[in-house]
Structure 1
């Protein structure tokens, strides 16, 4: 009986450890969207991919940004993203 109890406790401890590890490695939709947006911003060849970024002189890009300009930057992933349903 003692071996069975010890084995059960050991298995229970392992299951708890693996479930805690699985929760830590889950990726949320929000983190995926954030990573895609950051990748798009990083790949922009100019200085103002988004209105909230700063220009070389330290001022806000605002309407001078690729996001705000008509035509903008073709690969901009900063536009509104919504999950497919």
Structure 2
């Protein structure tokens, strides 16, 4: 029984340590993709980006929030993210 507890504790410790290891090894490209995912997940509708799809399955294209001036400005592409934003995100993660 004691060995089982040790095994469980070791598993929990490894699980908790994994996110810290993943943060340290994230490339700039991975951080850019994460920033894009977070931006899109906070958008309330279907058409955040031109490549998003409407509820009828068609591409949003020029109807997307990204394509319209003013209002919401979701981050859709790697090129939308500056190196300074990547470094700020990395700092926020603590890596």
Q: TM-score, normalised by structure 1?
A: 0.63
Question: Could you say which residue in structure 1 is the equivalent of 2:60?
Answer: 61
Question: Could you say which residue in structure 1 is the equivalent of 2:13?
Answer: none
Gaps of 5+ in 1: 1-21
Q: Which has the higher contact order (CA 8 A, sep 6+)?
A: 2
Question: Could you say which residue in structure 2 is the equivalent of 1:31?
Answer: 30
Distance, in Å, in 1 between the alignment partners of 2:50 and 2:75 is 14
Q: 1:1-85, aligned counterparts within 5 Å?
A: 26-74=25-73, 76-78=74-76, 80-84=80-84
Q: TM-score, normalised by structure 2?
A: 0.57
Distance, in Å, in 2 between the alignment partners of 1:47 and 1:77 is 14
Query: Residue by residue, what CA displacement relative to the aligned partner does 1:15-42 show, whole Å, maximum 9, x if unpaired?
Result: xxxxxxx7xx611011001001011111
CA distance 1:63–1:55, shift in 2 (3 Å): same
Distance, in Å, in 1 between the alignment partners of 2:71 and 2:34 is 20
Q: State the Cα RMSD in Å.
A: 2.1
